[in-house]
Amino acid sequence: MNNKHILGITFATLGLVLAGCGSQGASQDKNKAQVLNWTENRELATADLSQATDTLSFNVLMNTQEGLYRLDKSGIPQNALATKTQVTNGGKTYTFNLRKGVKWSDGSTVTAKDFVNSWRRTVNPKTVSQDAFYLFQVKNAEAINAGKKPVSSLGIKALSDYKLQVNLNKPVTYFKSY
């Protein structure tokens, strides 16, 4: 699997720790139950994005969660929860405007803070995420994962309920693609 596919899977799922979230659009019947019937030949190892390492878990996560971006049928990244992305600071700072009106399954609103909490949890050494290295391009992620910096120093912050900012260590050519 090449870096683009791995990163695509990562960003499709990382933003991603949004299992059970969805938008209640005007065309949907809010009282109608949404059901997903899924058959697999083995038990799901985990639905925890920070702990997932197997193909089945990633497939389930990709089909039940919404990220900042999603890949279209041609494999081209398209906006999902991100509605607009601004790249500044020589390619080291990404500011995402998030789609409003997205809800968790309990009815609470999905906000930028949910992304901050998710990414912090993934790099936190206590989580022991085998995929934390996917976030090492984010400022301080590697040092946090090594226990050398506090989790709060991760280069991601909620500027408002619907504005998320990510600071990278250096410009990363593939980050803009996903």
Give the residues of the chain that fall short of pLDDT 70: 1-31, 44-48, 50-54, 56-58, 60-61, 63-64, 175-178
pLDDT tens digits, residue range 89-131? 999 999 999 999 998 878 899 999 999 999 999 999 999 988 8
Residue ranges per structural domain of the chain: 3-24+37-167
For 23, phi then psi, to 5°, come to -95, 135
pLDDT of residue 52: 64
CATH architecture for residues 3-24+37-167: Alpha-Beta Complex (3.90)
H helices present in the chain, as ranges: 3-14, 55-64, 112-123, 141-145
Q: Are 23 and 103 in contact (CB under 8 A)?
A: yes
pTM for the structure as a whole: 0.72
pLDDT of residue 111: 96
Beta bridge partners of 52: none
First to last CA, the chain: 16
How far apart CA 117 and CA 34 sit, in angstroms, is 27
How far apart CA 93 and CA 121 sit, in angstroms, is 21
How far apart CA 98 and CA 164 sit, in angstroms, is 7
